[in-house]
Amino acid sequence: MLDVEQRNGVSKAQLKKEVKKWLDVVEQHYKVKPIIYTNVDFYKQNLGDEFDAYPLWVAHYYERRQPRIKRDWVFWQHSDRGRVNGITQPVDFNVFYGDSLDFRALLLPD
């Protein structure tokens, strides 16, 4: 998975080039499409439809039903205020959009 949430002064064109290069190298090595993790606004403003072929793990907090993004997603990080027994601090909560077969398709081949 590639976590990309900031440009840090890099141009949008250069960011796209480097992201694509990383995704290609990882996919070629592992034989599975890497997941892109980012937030809705960053995806819309910096990546866009050029990366729609990759599975998306999208952070979009406090939406009631689903993230506001016009593309498919596989994981949705919907809250940073989750509570889990044994952990004193709030944690991120995520949901998976699919069933066990969909999840298996994301894993590295045997």
> In sequence order, which residues have a C-beta less than 8 Å from that of residue 16 and are 6 or more positions away?
46, 47, 50
- Tens digits of residue pLDDT in 47-97: 989 999 999 999 999 888 889 998 999 999 999 999 999 999 999 999 999
Q: Provide the domain count of the chain.
A: 1
Nearest to 78 by CA among 57, 98, 102: 57
Q: Which residues are catalytic?
A: 5
Tell me the pLDDT of the chain averaged across its residues: 94
Is the whole-model pTM more than 0.85?
yes
Structural domain containing residue 7 = 2-106
Q: How far, in Å, CA of 25 to CA of 30, rounded?
A: 9
C-alpha dihedral, 64 to 69 to 71 to 74, nearest 10°: -50
- pLDDT above 90: residue 98: yes
CATH number for position 14: 3.20.20.80
